[in-house]
Amino acid sequence: MYLTKQMKTSAALTLPALLSLFLSLPTWATIESSDSERETIVEMIGQLEQRHYAKHRYDDDMSSAHLDSYIESLDRGKMFFTATDLAEFEKYRTTMDDQLHEGNLVAGFEIFNRFQQRLEERMENVVETLPQQVQAMDFTVDESFPVDADEWDWARTPAELDDRWRKRIKNEVLSLKLAKKPAEEIAPTLVKRYNSQLKRVRQYNSQDVFQIYANALTELYDPHTNYLSPRRSENFNINMSLSLEGIGAVLQQEDEYTKVSSLVAKGPADKQGELKPADRIIGVGQGEDGAIEDVIGWRLDEVVELIRGPKDSTVRLEVIPAKSKAADERKIVTIVRNKVKLEEQSAQKKILEIPEGDRTIKVGVIDIPAFYIDFDAMRRGEEDYKSTTRDVKVLLQELQDEGVEGIVIDLRNNGGGSLQEANELTGLFIEYGPTVQIRHSSRRVWRDGKRLKTTYYEGPLVVLINRLSASASEIFAGALQDYQRGLIVGDRSFGKGTVQTLIPLTEGQLKITESKFYRISGDSTQHRGVVPDVEFPSIYDAEEIGESSLDHALNWDQINPVRHQRYNDLSTVVPRVTASFVERSAGNPDFVYLEEQVEMARQTSEITELPLNEAARIALRESQEQKALVIENKRRKAKGEELLTSLDEDELDEADEADPELAAEEEPDDEEPDVLLTEAGNVLVDMLLLKERAYAVHTPGEEPKK
């Protein structure tokens, strides 16, 4: 329509003038929905209303929330739409539900087309003017850039939006500058980044638009309910079959970054040890020396495809560490791709020797990285098929034969796995009884657990969990806590207490939350997670990691409890054990170090604006580094180690090499220090001693011990 009007008024133009006119026309193309997508949305809404656990109707209220969710998913940073655009979209606020029930996708596609237009116009302008902008930047001006886009309202004028972009680009330039990017490479790097985003948005098709629009709705039900386009369905199936060769990391999209959600236990990234949950991946390079490709602004599936690769090949990731508030700090993580092998996820044992007066108490530790089972071997009828429960049963007996006086089950970073194995494993520590309740969206409840009375391990027991202990781990830990079979220590667990089902649609699939896990106490494991009896400092930020950090996560609630046995009365034990822990940890330099790191991370999270004045930005960074150095040297001084003048990696290495004996004692993964496991062993010893004293007091014929 636009072209026809221009042609009518330009009949006398010369050929060069006509070519110029064509080149000046908008390059964005309107995307329209397909018949299959219109059928799919009707099916999807029907399934959501009928089968989702929350039982939400897609009505006017949810239509309003859907509009906000969709706009946010397109322009979370409020960098493209204006207040005028938002005012136009208001006509859809309470009509999208009526439209989608009839298979009408007009609202979603019209909003996206406006977004694409705004993005293309902006990217073209940025690419054209960026070198001049960089050259004109003054880093002595006192101004700032908000960390969170929620600090902004929608821009009311084009000039306001232009200034917002000026500050964004200035922030990116300053980050690259402080990350020691050569000055002559900064503008080309950003031009390439924005050209890449421009190219990608021009490649969007109707499936891409439909997926964004559909998921803006599904995620209002809960964060684990998602529409999977045909392409995403294929990737999901690859992941579920474990045939994917890669690095063993679960990734998610956060604004324009690809964020590490969790690591697969004993996978390549986990074993390499440098990549951490909440790290942001900003670049991917192939091989030992391949160029790092900037992936800021890429779609998640594109980043995953770049990271994925054949076994034994190398991928290099440029990441912004989770602890870094700005993008000034970067590091390169080199990982050799591989498959996650079942035998590498096997439970392992070791023995802690805890000094207590003139005796040494041996505590057995069983590390369970995942709840695994070789289903194929089991179906084939193999008698020695591999499973968590079978392996732990053998290790339990071996540890008892070696004379341990109690057991610590280490579930840190165990993201779950087989529900069957969680139930079977619980059965090794109780005589019989239910372990979990599962409530379906139909509100029918069924229970699973140990049905027959058999022998079980009766000795002192501690379960160590952290923020990354999820799903099946929470079922196991929650059951043992409800039976009062042992003490749970560590950090509050992840809080994923939902069950998903895959439903095929005309186009793609719907992954829908259809059931919810409940403990035998009636408490849900959802959102709240398992709360430890003795709580250790958390090394993970609950605002970044865990179910409670996700938008629209289902709430914690309760159903009727199940009658069950209680093996101990731990209500009297917990206060005394906790008091001993507090007293002991106050004098432990490693624990003090951990607590101070947690406090520093909390303070960092309160930073809401980043200075765009270079001197102020450097001062902020140096202040953070100085705080970290003080904390590190306080720990080193208490342990008699060499003090540092900086946290430079070379100096850290030199300090460790200066005292090989101390270096050999260092825990290889400094974010999961051995002090936590040792303290879990100490808690078990406290339990053991309390039991011995109680037994001595109540033994007939003896004087009570004082």
Residue range 504-537, pLDDT digits in tens: 999 999 999 999 999 999 999 999 999 999 999 8
pLDDT higher at 24 or 392: 392
Res 485 pLDDT > 90: yes
- pLDDT above 80: residue 702: no
Q: What percent of the chain has pLDDT over 90?
A: 66
Tens of pLDDT, residues 278-313: 899 999 999 998 999 999 888 888 888 899 888 899
According to the model, what pLDDT value does residue 25 have? 42
Q: How far is CA 564 from CA 434, 436, 458, 471, 674, in A?
A: 8, 12, 17, 22, 35
Residue-level pLDDT at 16 = 44
- Tens-digit pLDDT profile for residues 326-365: 667 889 999 999 876 666 778 999 999 999 888 999 999 9
Q: pLDDT band at 252, cuts 50/70/90?
A: confident
Average pLDDT, integer, range 676-703: 78
Whether residue 81 contacts residue 75, with contact meaning beta carbons closer than 8 Å, is answered with: yes
Q: Tell me the per-residue pLDDT of 361-398, one tens digit each, with 9 for 90 and over.
A: 999 999 999 998 888 788 888 888 889 999 999 999 99
- pLDDT for the residue 9: 36
For residues 463 and 476, what is the distance between their CA atoms, to the nearest angstrom?
Answer: 9
Q: pLDDT-derived band of residue 150, with 50, 70 and 90 as boundaries?
A: confident
**Taking residues 616-632, what's their average pLDDT?**
92
Give the residue-averaged pLDDT of 134-163: 93
Look up residue 612 and give its DSSP letter: -
**pLDDT value for 234:** 57
What are the DSSP calls for 278-339, one per residue?
Answer: T-EEEEEEETTTPPEEE-TT--HHHHHHHH---TT-EEEEEEE-TT-SSS---EEEEEE-BP
pLDDT in tens, 305-327: 899 888 899 999 999 988 776 66
Mean pLDDT value across the chain = 87
Residue 483: is its pLDDT beyond 60? yes
Question: Which amino acid belongs to residue 337?
Answer: R
Could you give the 3-state DSSP secondary structure of residue 436? strand
- pLDDT score recorded for residue 374: 83
Third-level CATH fold of 356-590+676-692: 2-enoyl-CoA Hydratase; Chain A, domain 1 (3.90.226)
3-state DSSP assignment of residue 107: helix
**Chain centre to alpha carbon of residue 278:** 6
Mean pLDDT, residues 547-559 = 94
> How much is the pTM?
0.85
**Alpha carbon distances (Å) from 81 to 74, 105, 158, 675:** 9, 20, 10, 50
Residue 500 has pLDDT above 60, yes or no: yes
pLDDT for 654 equals 57
pLDDT per residue as tens digits for the range 570-617: 999 999 999 999 999 998 999 899 899 888 888 888 888 999 999 999
For domain 243-336, the CATH architecture is Roll (2.30)
C-alpha 603: how far from chain center: 21
pLDDT in the model for residue 656? 54
Would you say residue 198 has pLDDT above 60?
A: yes
Tokens of 193: 């980044």
Question: Angle of helix 230-240 relative to helix 206-221, nearest 10 degrees?
Answer: 60
Intra-chain end-to-end CA distance of the chain, in Å = 95
pLDDT at 655: 53
**CB proximity list for 369: less than 8 A, separation 6 or greater:** 265, 266, 345, 347, 413, 414
Q: Quick check: 19 pLDDT over 60?
A: no
DSSP label of 608: -
Give 56's contacts (C-beta < 8 A, 6+ positions apart). 48, 49, 62, 220, 221
For residue 276, which of 335, 350, 235 has the smallest C-alpha distance?
335
Q: What are phi and psi of 125, to 5 degrees?
A: -65, -45
Q: Which residues contact 502 (CB under 8 A, 6 or more apart)?
A: 236, 509, 510, 511, 512
**CA atoms 177, 179, 182, 188: torsion sign:** negative
Residue 244 confidence class, pLDDT cut points 50, 70, 90: very low
Q: How far is CA 525 from the centre of its chain?
A: 18
Q: Please tell me the predicted confidence (pLDDT) of residue 253.
A: 82
Instruction: Indicate the domain borders of the chain.
Output: 33-218, 243-336, 356-590+676-692, 607-666
- Residues annotated as catalytic are 471, 482, 496
Are 55 and 520 within 8 A, CB to CB?
Answer: no
Asked whether residue 194 carries a pLDDT value surpassing 50, the answer given is: yes
Exposure b/e, 615-630, CB count within 10 A at least 16 = b: ebbeebbeebeebbbe
Rounded CA-CA distance 54/555 in Å is 10
Mean predicted confidence (pLDDT) in 476-487: 97
Check pLDDT > 60 for residue 675. Answer: yes
Beta bridge partners of 446: 438
